Amino acid sequence: MKNLSCNLLLTCDQTILSKDNKISLIGIFDQIFLQSIPGNHPKLSLVGIVAGEPFSDHVLTISFKDPKNQSVYPDQNLSVNLGTTGKSNLVAEFINLPINSVGAYTFSIFSGKSQIGSTTLTASQVPASPSFPRKSKIIN
């Protein structure tokens, strides 16, 4: 049996899933800027591609941890069925994600106790009229 892996994992504003299971991503980002901390990120999608044994079923766990490696959002369980190619799209939506400090927050995907993927979302605090680098987003 082929080991389960996560070939892509990123955050974006919105995802659209077509009838034939193609994903369209809108607003990919890896950094957010808040004017006040603590705060909340109103909505984001975590998108990935999971690969393993064709026609296998898996329950994955998604965790979100702060810069001190503390959970700040309840873990989410997600069932995936790998198709004929042994791949499946993974889309999870998060609403009102708590951001309690500046720093690197981590989304991790687990299959059982094995971490199969992770991505980082960096939170920064900024003044009211900042200039923004690419791939970033401000939250009021």
- Domains by residue range for the chain, with CATH: 5-139 (2.60.40.1930)
What pLDDT, on a 0 to 100 scale, did the predictor assign at position 1?
43
**87 burial type by CB count under 10 A (0-12 exposed, 13-18 middle, 19+ buried):** middle
Residue with structure tokens 């959002």? Answer: 73
For 102, list phi and psi in degrees, rounded to 5.
-75, 155
> Residue 23 in contact with residue 73, Cβ under 8 Å?
no
What pLDDT, on a 0 to 100 scale, did the predictor assign at position 126?
84
C-alpha pair distances (Å), 36 with each of 41, 118, 125, 127: 11, 26, 6, 9
Collapsed DSSP state (helix, strand, coil) of residue 83: coil
Interatomic CA distance for residues 81 and 56, integer angstroms? 6
Instruction: Tell how strand 57-65 and strand 103-111 pair up.
Output: antiparallel
In angstroms and rounded to an integer, the radius of gyration of the C-alpha atoms of the chain is 16
How would you write the pLDDT of the chain (140 residues) with one tens digit per residue?
A: 458 999 999 999 999 988 887 889 999 999 999 888 899 899 999 999 999 999 999 999 999 999 999 999 899 999 999 989 999 999 999 999 999 999 999 999 999 999 999 999 999 998 766 565 555 555 54
